[in-house]
């Protein structure tokens, strides 16, 4: 191939600086495809430092969902081998995992030692599963597994025990039957020996996750065998964040009390209700996230769970975010004992109905820093005034899609704040509350610009609706639990 003398940096160059030449060269290389970059790299030694620097910045993620779109065969093996120590993230296609591992083996890669983050995805074809019979959909996961499987805590010993429909499914997965082949998963701990974060979007029927000694984050979107989960809780002692988001939860969380480093936990509501007495004493608990799933009896169970948490840790609760769509009336606040939170810094209520009730009847908690009222279709102005009186020291008040509120509410809030003689303004952030925004803008020049030391108004640039049913954040290193 011909050289590129006009771009290659040399000691006798008259260009302003070596770094300028390299930036110009990187700009040219960036316009080329990866295959063309690699071709130049292999035959132009002067380009290698520039390409190495550029690739180290651009290719920290190895994604098997797309890597073969740019390179195939020997060029792919060459590139992977050159970059193997640079990768920090890897994304496998779980139902094609053996093919992914074969690509690494062909490239001469025995381990990705610097990878800290791994995700196992399913291909689109694998995700399109046929609908299950109605009677099977109604059965919880633990019904499909024999009792001995849930008692097994090491290796894959449970796979050969206790015949039954659940075990037949497990063996089919391991042997590569109708379900996703499971046996390639055993190769991952050796390949990713320093892994800290693992997100799994496929079913897990075998024991491999507990063999990651450095694991700190585990997210399970797919169903997991009970024995495999028990093995994780027994052996992953550095685990800090555990999120179980599978459509059908495991039957229990045996061993979770020994995970003393756990900080963030996301669980199905029914599962938390079984082990709440083991989770709440965890010394480093910072986030508790609960989701309903398809439970028909979720509202009473959620109120019971909230009441339990607040009875044991009311002084530790810092922030609470709640999707209220499941509640039939606003009295859930009183029933859950929300007003016992004495150090509540933030409260987010989404889809909350107030049913023309007095706020004093609901025992709404006092919030110190920020309050978000989002998609509250029947929130009236007198109720919001009472809320602001109760939370008189708010820094920020978010009003999102509250159609019954008008610009008159601003005068009421202004009078409350002025009477309290608070030395900082309240910031009201709006979205889809056009009546308030319009009246504020019309009166801004003549009136509101002179009241900015008491009240400010702004628009929400980007909305963040909570995805789960309940999120409770606790003060970090909080030891004085009530």
Span 66-73, average pLDDT:
88
Q: Is 155 a residue whose pLDDT tops 90?
A: no
Q: Is 234 a residue whose pLDDT tops 70?
A: yes
Stretch among 85-94, 96-105, 166-175, 207-216 having the lowest mean pLDDT: 166-175
pLDDT in tens, 381-421: 999 999 999 999 999 999 999 999 999 999 999 999 999 98
Q: Is 135 a residue whose pLDDT tops 50?
A: no
Domain ranges of the chain: 1-58, 297-482
Q: What is the pLDDT of residue 125?
A: 56
Read off the pLDDT band of 167 (50, 70, 90).
Answer: very low
pLDDT in tens, 181-221: 899 999 999 999 999 999 999 999 999 999 999 999 999 99
pLDDT in tens, 277-319: 999 999 999 999 998 866 555 788 889 999 999 999 988 999 9
Q: What is the pLDDT of residue 27?
A: 76
> If you classify domain 297-482 with CATH, what class do you get?
alpha beta
Read off the pLDDT band of 28 (50, 70, 90).
Answer: confident
Phi, psi (rounded to 5 degrees) for 86: -90, -20
């Amino acid at each position: 191939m011909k050289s590129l003398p006009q771009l290659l940096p040399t000691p006798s160059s008259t260009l302003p600086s070596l770094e300028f030449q390299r930036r110009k060269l990187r700009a040219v290389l960036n316009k080329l495809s990866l295959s063309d970059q690699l071709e130049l790299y292999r035959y132009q030694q002067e380009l290698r430092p520039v390409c190495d620097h550029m690739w180290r910045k651009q290719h920290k993620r190895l994604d098997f969902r797309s890597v073969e779109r740019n390179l195939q065969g020997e060029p792919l093996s060459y590139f992977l081998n050159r970059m193997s120590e640079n990768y920090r993230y890897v994304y496998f296609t779980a139902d094609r995992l053996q093919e992914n591992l074969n690509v690494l083996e062909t490239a001469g890669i025995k381990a990705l030692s610097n990878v800290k983050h791994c995700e196992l995805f399913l291909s689109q074809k694998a995700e399109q599963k046929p609908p299950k019979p109605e009677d099977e959909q109604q059965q919880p996961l633990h019904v499909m597994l024999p009792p001995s499987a849930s008692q097994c805590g090491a290796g894959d010993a449970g796979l050969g025990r206790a015949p039954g429909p659940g075990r037949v499914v497990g063996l089919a997965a391991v042997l590569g039957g109708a379900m996703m082949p499971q046996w390639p998963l055993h190769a991952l701990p050796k390949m990713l020996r320093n892994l800290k974060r693992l997100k799994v979007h496929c079913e897990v029927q075998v024991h491999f996750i507990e063999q990651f000694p450095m694991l700190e984050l585990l997210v399970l979107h797919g169903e997991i065998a009970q024995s495999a989960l028990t093995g994780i809780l027994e052996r992953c002692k550095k685990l800090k964040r555990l999120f179980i988001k599978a459509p059908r939860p495991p039957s229990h969380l045996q061993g979770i009390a020994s995970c003393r480093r756990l900080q963030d936990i996301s669980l199905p509501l029914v599962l938390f209700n079984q082990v709440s007495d083991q989770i709440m004493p965890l010394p480093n608990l910072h986030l508790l996230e609960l989701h309903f799933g398809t439970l028909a009896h979720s509202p009473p169970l959620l109120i019971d769970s909230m009441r339990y948490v607040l009875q044991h840790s009311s002084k530790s609760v810092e922030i609470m975010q709640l999707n209220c769509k499941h509640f039939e009336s606003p009295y859930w606040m009183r029933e859950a004992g929300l007003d016992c939170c004495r150090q509540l810094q933030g409260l987010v209520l989404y889809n909350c109905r107030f049913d023309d009730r007095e706020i004093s009847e609901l025992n709404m908690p006092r919030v110190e820093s920020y309050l978000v009222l989002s998609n509250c279709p029947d929130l009236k102005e007198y109720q919001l005034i009472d809320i602001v009186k109760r939370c008189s020291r708010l820094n920020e008040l978010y009003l999102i899609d509250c159609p019954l509120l008008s610009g008159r509410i601003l005068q009421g809030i202004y009078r409350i704040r002025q009477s309290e003689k608070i030395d900082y303004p309240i910031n009201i952030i709006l979205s889809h509350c056009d009546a308030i925004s319009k009246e504020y803008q019309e009166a801004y020049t003549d009136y509101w610009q002179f009241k900015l030391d008491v009240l400010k108004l702004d628009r929400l640039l980007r909305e963040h609706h909570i995805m789960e049913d309940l999120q409770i954040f606790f003060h970090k290193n909080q030891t004085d639990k009530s």
